[in-house]
Amino acid sequence: MVARHDQTTDPELLAGLLQARRGTAFFARKLNELSDADLDGGSLLPGWTRRHVAAHIGYNARAIARLIEWAATGVETPMYASAAARDHEIDFGATLSPIALRNLFDHSAVHLNVEWRDLPADAWHHTVKTAQGRLVPASETVWMRTREVWMHAVDLDNGATFADIPAPVLERLLADITGAWHARGSDSGLLVTVAGTDLAFGDTGAQSPTVVSGPLPAVVAWAAGRGSNEVTATGASAAGASGGGSVPAAPKWI
């Protein structure tokens, strides 16, 4: 049998698909390292067990696959019926038996990958709607999935860190987070820089900003609300603490 390949030939899209598939494989590895009993343990997300994280990733793949079906057929198929339906789905998934929960992840990941693979090249430009109501080309679903699998692999809290996430994913994730802050106006006076680079995000025009800085993985972890290890802060709001300043809490992202 001849192997089937992605129908798109766009090099940027193919690179994105590869990053999403690598992230899926990484999440699968971290999930498989957990025993069935470990699934009952807490995650890095308040109120969520590891079961919730696994269920979310499984149902997220199904939701994104619905968008790809929309792009392929032109028939509107939303990610979720409502935000409440999404939350209920995750809570239900967290009650599944370990084998059913693992099968949910495995089967949904394969289904999404097939939908991506078989989508005609021109259909990647078709417009779909995210759960937040944004109208985006179907190609955006690749990044939507990429950030979910890489970041939530860390949230399983069994050894993965933001340092395991590829730098291009971290940079785009930081741009997404700080972009959301800017859209809400919550980044006023806050400048985020990455040590050893010229990368700067946030209120780049502030005269006397609070500057939060550190290695790229640490800065993204802080911005995403996952702690401030290896991150430092200078400026007015960080003054007064020993060692150079206290690190402020990151503005709300999602």
Averaged pLDDT for residues 122-134: 95
* Residue 110, pLDDT score: 97
Return mean pLDDT, the chain: 92
Whole-angstrom Cα distance, residue 63 to residue 103? Answer: 16
pLDDT in tens, 229-252: 999 998 855 544 434 458 999 998
Model confidence at 180: pLDDT above 50: yes
Domain locations along the chain: 11-160, 167-244
pLDDT in tens, 131-177: 989 999 999 999 999 999 999 999 999 999 999 999 999 999 999 99
Model confidence at 59: pLDDT above 80: yes
Domain spanning 11-160: CATH superfamily: dinb family like domain (1.20.120.450)
* Residue 1, pLDDT score: 46
* Residue 239, pLDDT score: 47
Whole-angstrom Cα distance, residue 13 to residue 226? Answer: 29
Sheet containing strand 210-214, strands side by side: 200-202, 190-194, 210-214, 232-234
Q: How far is CA 14 from the centre of its chain?
A: 19
* Residue 3, pLDDT score: 53
* Residue 243, pLDDT score: 40
Number of other residues whose CB lies within 10 A of the CB of residue 249: 9
CA distances from 194 to 8, 25, 27 (A): 34, 28, 26
* The model's pTM: 0.91
Could you tell me which of 24, 52, 34 has the C-alpha nearest to residue 150? 24
Averaged pLDDT for residues 19-29: 98
* Residue 238, pLDDT score: 53
State the burial class of residue 31 (Cβ atoms within 10 Å of its Cβ: 0-12, 13-18, 19+): buried
* Residue 202, pLDDT score: 86
Could you tell me which of 152, 29, 51, 155 has the C-alpha nearest to residue 97? 51
Sole residue written with tokens 């700080």:
178
Per-residue pLDDT band at 54 (split at 50, 70, 90): very high
Number of other residues whose CB lies within 10 A of the CB of residue 141: 28
Averaged pLDDT for residues 77-96: 94
Taking domain 167-244, whether its CATH number is 3.30.1050.20 is answered by yes
Find the angle CA(11)-CA(223)-CA(33) to the nearest 5 degrees. Answer: 70
Q: How far is CA 243 from the centre of its chain?
A: 32
